[in-house]
Amino acid sequence: MRTMLDQLRRAGLDAIHDKLQDSRRLDFEDGMRLYRTPDLTAVGTLANLVRERRSGARTYYVRNLHVNYTNICNKLCKFCSFYTPPNNPDARGYVLSPEDAVARVAQYSGEPIREIHMVAGINPKLPYQYYLDLVAAVKAARPDAQIKAFTMIELAQIARVARRPLEEILPELKAAGLAACPGGGAEVFSDRVHEELFRAKLDNEGWFEVARAVHAAGIPSNATLLYGHIESQEEKVQHLLHIRELQDETHGFMCFVPLAFDPSNTELAHLPATTGYANLREIAIARLLLDNFPHVKAFWIMITPPVAQMALWYGADDIDGTVNHYEITHALGTSSHRQVMSTPELLDLISEAGREPVERDALYNEIPAEPTLSERARTGQA
């Protein structure tokens, strides 16, 4: 379309368009150009070319359930409103026993949950056996669902309390039922930001080492970027290029998830919330720079459902899911602060955007849609 090419030229993005046409890789300068241009539509148009080349109109969603097994955490990250410290926990402090977690999961026994997402604080009092028991108990309660659990930060802690190398404990966790790892805890791979906001946390090189071990153990994972706090555009581009490099090495990442920082109730509460522009731009740039990632996710809980719906045209081919029982942050900018979406609502949202909903499991295997009554009648099925 003529206007698109004109627009890309005006936005100074035609060279990037040429690279994409030849499937050539974008570099640091390209990334910076994508952040600097005010023309969000041009950036979205480029990202959508890549998105449609990879996934067509397909948009993945999952029926999932979150279990945040403890909020006690010794990392004291300034951007977090979820934790309470271990030496002086407040009244909110809790640990779910494996039985508690099973009880939580049992509340959803009537629903075809495919993914159970378990992440939590770094609670130094929990022994290695706790994690094995937690995974095994939840898996036994819901054998039909896959467990996606433990960020790289939690896995480093689990290895520490086990006093054994990751290479040994990962197969044990896998045998207990761990199918995949989420991508959280990556934050921003910048020593400056690390020092300033999350100095107690595993450092950047440490995150990479754990991710390497996870992928080597045959456990796929996601990766994230926490944006909208003190990070610079340069730091974001570097972050994406680091992740891309690691993916070249391991091919273990399934999906990239830009996470919008929610300043409310954190030590950074003076910062403004992320804008709709920023939400769409981060998704688009991730889609463009991460040419070796199969999927990019619009996490509607953090960017609101309307923006997540728009993101399906700005590079995202995954919209997460029903997200039952999520507790880490609260959706911004919605009048109702709703935290759960029903499957019909999700399907509507995807279809209204002219996209094709595809149900997936935690490993992005497609779940065949159940035939409708009229289809059953046609094919003569009972």
Partner 1 sequence: MSFNGNGLQDIEGKVLGSERLSFADGVRLFREANPLQLSTWANLVRQRLHPDDLVTFVIGRNINYTNVCWVRCKFCSFYRLPGAEGGYVLPREEIFRKIEELLALGGTEILIQGGLNPVLKIDYFEELFRAIKARVPIHIHGLSPAEIIYLAKISDLDERECLVRLKAAGLDSIPGAGAEMLVDEVREQIAPYKDSAAAWLSLMRTAHQLGIPSTVTMMYGSVETVEQRVEHLVKVRGLQEETGGFRAFIPWSFQPEGTHLPNVKRASGLDYLRTVAVSRLMLDNIPNIQASWLTQGPKIGQIALQYGVNDMGSTVIEENVVTAKGAVFMIPLAEIERLIRDAGLRPARRNTRYEILDVA
What residue ranges bind partner 1 (CB under 8 A)? 1-4, 7, 37-41, 44-45, 48, 57, 272-273, 275-280, 303-304, 306-307, 309-310, 313, 333-335, 349, 351-354
CB 225 within 8 A of CB 259: yes
Residue 42 Cβ vs partner 1, minimum distance, rounded to whole Å: 8
Radius of gyration of the chain (CA): 21
Residue 299 Cβ vs partner 1, minimum distance, rounded to whole Å: 14
Residue 342 Cβ vs partner 1, minimum distance, rounded to whole Å: 13
Residue 320 Cβ vs partner 1, minimum distance, rounded to whole Å: 17
Residue 282 Cβ vs partner 1, minimum distance, rounded to whole Å: 13
Given the complex with partner 1, which of 251 and 277 has the nearer CB atom? Answer: 277
Return the HEC string of 108-119. CCCCCCCEEEEC
Of 308, 294, 303, the residue nearest 334 (C-alpha): 303
Side chain identity at 133, as an amino acid letter?
D
Side chain identity at 346, as an amino acid letter?
L
Given the complex with partner 1, which of 163 and 337 has the nearer CB atom? Answer: 337
The neighbouring-strand residues paired with 148 are: 117, 180
Cα gap 92→72, rounded to integer Å:
9
Residue 10 Cβ vs partner 1, minimum distance, rounded to whole Å: 9
Residues 6+ away with beta carbon under 8 Å from 15: 30
Given the complex with partner 1, which of 48 and 74 has the nearer CB atom? Answer: 48
Neighbour tally for 379: CB within 10 Å: 8
Given the complex with partner 1, which of 272 and 380 has the nearer CB atom? Answer: 272
Residue 304 Cβ vs partner 1, minimum distance, rounded to whole Å: 6
Given the complex with partner 1, which of 86 and 276 has the nearer CB atom? Answer: 276
40 CB burial (10 A radius; 0-12, 13-18, 19+): middle
**Helix, strand or coil, per DSSP, at residue 175:** helix
Given the complex with partner 1, which of 207 and 227 has the nearer CB atom? Answer: 227
Given the complex with partner 1, which of 206 and 306 has the nearer CB atom? Answer: 306
Here the tokens at position 104 are: 């939580």
